[in-house]
Amino acid sequence: MKLMTISEVTKTFNVTARMLRYYDEIGLLPSTRKQDYAYRVYDEYALKRLQQIIALRKLRIPLKKIALIFNDIEQTKIIEIFQESIDEINTEITALQTIRDILNTFVTRLNSMADMHIKLDMLNDADIISVIQTLSLSKIKLKEESSMDDLNKANEILSTLKNVRIIYLPPFTVAASHYFGENPEENALKPLDEFVRSIELKKIKPDLRMFGFNNPSPSGNETYGYEFWVTIPDDLDVPSSLQKKYFKGGLYAAHCIKMGDFHEWQLLVQWVTNSSEYEYDTREPFGMDGCLEEHINAYSYFAGDEKAAQFIQLDLLIPIKVK
């Protein structure tokens, strides 16, 4: 039976090690350990499962629904899951058709008045405004026949990021925790979590923020490191298990994801690469060449709000500068 390491899987299937680890954590794609072998490996069954996950994600099926499908639920339930996705797509198609009709109306009116030197005040049309306000903007590509190539092309179009924000992170002081080895995110978080809770940092600094990044990133095998930061007052001392660092701040391209959607890092990188206004600007910290992951619900997590903390969102941040 063929076994593949995380490194081999990431290269073969164009996924990240972080994504594979997350799928493992939530029980969606369990890995195994070969005797006398240090790294996780994936057998043929797991690789087939990964292919299925990738295909279902391209069909816009959420991870929670994919887990239900894999849990041998009744066929009627699977049909319901697919029907829900169809209904969502139909809603988007209807919205896009409305957008097309409105744009056609604009073009028709402009063409009819092309020779008239007057200002066309189309956007005061109450009917059009009311329709526009109900739209949920997205992009769908439809084909009569669906193949994997068609799906990949459609997915590429749909995956083009439209909601990238340009933000400025101010300078701040952080308590940093770093770990290299097995489960680096979990092991890096432990001492930082203990510190934040022991001094009740949320009361001292209610605007606390938490960031993380690979340090170093995976290269050649599955072992890598991760570093967590939590913002602290400039005059606050930290225990020996942590480091006190100063972050200089700067301009970033930001994109928000749900925990697990780490493949969208690639989409954000592509957005920066294709931008006519901004370009990549490598700066500290250098673990991910200056890229950061901000944990949006950090305060809820440290405040013990389990319900809010379970809905984990991350801001993916790429350092940029104006061209």
What is the average per-residue pLDDT within 197-222?
86
287 or 322: which leads in pLDDT: 322
Find the helix or strand (DSSP H, E) in which 67 lies: helix 63-70
* pLDDT score for 174: 96
Residue 110: CB atoms within 10 A of its CB come to: 11
* pLDDT score for 30: 83
What is the average per-residue pLDDT within 103-108?
78
C-alpha–C-alpha distance, residues 268 and 32, integer Å: 31
* pLDDT score for 57: 86
The pLDDT-based confidence of 137 (bands split at 50, 70, 90) is very low
Taking the model in full, what pTM does it have? 0.67
* pLDDT score for 1: 57
Beta strands in the chain (DSSP E): 4-5, 32-33, 40-42, 165-169, 172-181, 210-214, 224-232, 243-247, 250-258, 278-280, 292-295, 313-322
Share of the chain above pLDDT 70, in %: 79
Q: Model confidence over 20-68: pLDDT tens digits?
A: 888 888 888 888 876 666 677 888 889 989 988 888 888 888 888 988 8
Mean pLDDT of the chain, nearest integer:
81
* pLDDT score for 92: 78
Nearest of 176, 233, 169, 171 to residue 200 by alpha carbon: 233
Length of the chain: 323
**Residue extents of the structural domains in the chain:** 4-70, 75-158, 165-322
* pLDDT score for 123: 52
Nearest of 61, 2, 5 to residue 28 by alpha carbon: 61
| Structure token digits, residue 250 | 């700067």
CA dihedral 120, 124, 126, 130 (to 10 degrees): 110
Is a pLDDT exceeding 50 seen at residue 16? yes
Superfamily for the 165-322 domain: Regulatory factor, effector binding domain (3.20.80.10)
Domains 4-70 and 165-322 share a fold: no
C-alpha–C-alpha distance, residues 8 and 106, integer Å: 52
Is a pLDDT exceeding 90 seen at residue 265? no
For 113-200, where are the alpha helices, taking DSSP H only? 126-132, 148-158, 184-198
| Structure token digits, residue 204 | 């001292």
Peptide bond into 184 cis (omega under 30): no
* pLDDT score for 140: 37
| Residue recorded with tokens 């949006």 | 296
Worst-scoring range by mean pLDDT, 63-67, 105-109, 190-194, 246-250? 105-109
* pLDDT score for 3: 83
The CATH architecture assigned to 4-70 reads Orthogonal Bundle (1.10)
* pLDDT score for 136: 40
* pLDDT score for 292: 95
